[in-house]
A and B are shown apart, each in its own frame.
Chain A
Amino acid sequence: MSKPTPNGTRPEDGCALVTGASKGIGAACAQALAADGWSVGVHFGNDADGAQATVDAITKAGGRAFAITGDVGHPDSADAIFSALEAELGTVLALVNNAGIRDDGLAMQLSDDAFDRVLQTNLSGAFRLTRRALGPMVRKRYGRIVNVASIVGPRANAGQANYAASKAGLIGLTRTVAAEVARRGVTVNAVAPGFIATDMTADIPQDQLGAIPARRPGRPEEVAACVAFLASDAAAYVTGTTLTVDGGLSA
């Protein structure tokens, strides 16, 4: 008989990595995890100033953070990001795959490039980071992976076939990887935000807010609270699931 699943208490020597943490949901996740006592790798793609602002906010609040860059859409980035972070903060025991892009258009007009680029960053990138994270997590008998998906994917959103495919794919990835590593104390979950007020949604017409039962957009901190829960010891028995945070939009 295999040994039972470990009880899920975080080892003291690990750190968390949040991709796309220079602003928006990622920045809020990095700060929430830091507030929970994690040392945090603040990953960014292009916005070094934004990442530094996230690091500064964490440091000012008494936490520990380190900014790290890399194109998550590139096949070699996962190892480079992890190796640098391991040297700086220790083994990555919590991974938040938040980095994401959108490149909208109706499917009948969507270019190969727009489709592939979104899938590469949002889905393949998350897979490669997950694969790199799993070895050390499995060996430590502890790990928390949280994928930032979207309600777009399980639900339709005209003009976002690429984005929807990537986010639905992320939810499928979440479930299967969760099943593979559950007995090593590694949990894999997703959050599915609805309309959250960030730069990414700044161009969406405000009249669409009426469709949200809560009658307002969500705040990045409200998504981060869900991510922090899924990354906590308290969530040790929660795995393979998707926590929707959308003010009732998909209820």
Chain B
Amino acid sequence: MATITTEAVQQTVTDALVSFGAEPSEIAMDTELTALDIDSLDLAEMSQIVDDEYGVSLKSTDVTTIKTVGDIIELIVSKA
């Protein structure tokens, strides 16, 4: 299992967002997920990825408060 650093999580989240179809150039900490066309299924898959890579389990209720790319990273790091 990978060590949790903000940089590592940032990379994991960016890679995942790109795999969901987001434009790499549009991904910044303050980018809203809706602007990247990221929806609930994408976030459910993100939860799977985070669980596999870091053993951090995100609940569907955690995920509902997320608005920006930075929010996801912060949430994952805070749960580590």
Shortest CB distance A79–B (Å):
13
Q: Is the CB of A139 within 8 A of B37?
A: no
- Given the complex of chains A and B, what is the CA–CA distance between A247 and B48 in angstroms? 43
Q: Is the CB of B45 within 8 A of A139?
A: yes
A192 at the interface (CB under 8 A from B): no
Residues of B with C-beta under 8 A to A2: 20-21, 37
Residues of B with C-beta under 8 A to A184: 41, 45
Residues of A with C-beta under 8 A to B45: 135, 138-139, 184
Q: Is the CB of A3 within 8 A of B21?
A: yes
A181 at the interface (CB under 8 A from B): yes
Residues of B with C-beta under 8 A to A180: 41
Chain A residue total in the interface (Cβ 8 A): 10
B56 at the interface (CB under 8 A from A): no
Interface of B: prevailing SS: helix
- Given the complex of chains A and B, what is the CA–CA distance between A46 and B13 in angstroms? 44
| B7-46 contact mask (Cβ, 8 Å, vs A): 1 or 0 | 0000000000000110000000000000001000100110
| A184-200 contact mask (Cβ, 8 Å, vs B): 1 or 0 | 10000000000000000
A102 at the interface (CB under 8 A from B): no
A183 at the interface (CB under 8 A from B): yes
| B46-80 contact mask (Cβ, 8 Å, vs A): 1 or 0 | 00110000000000000000000000000000000
Q: Is the CB of A1 within 8 A of B37?
A: yes
Q: Which residue on B lies nearest to A138, using beta carbons?
A: B45
Q: Is the CB of B21 within 8 A of A139?
A: no
Residues of A with C-beta under 8 A to B44: 138
- Given the complex of chains A and B, what is the CA–CA distance between A181 and B37 in angstroms? 16
* Contact of A3 (CB < 8 Å), options: B20, B41, B48, B49: B20
9 residue pairs, one from A and one from B, having the closest CB atoms:
A3-B21, A2-B21, A135-B48, A138-B45, A2-B37, A139-B48, A1-B37, A180-B41, A1-B21
- Where the two chains meet, the residues of A that have a C-beta atom closer than 8 Å to any C-beta of B are 1-3, 135, 138-139, 180-181, 183-184
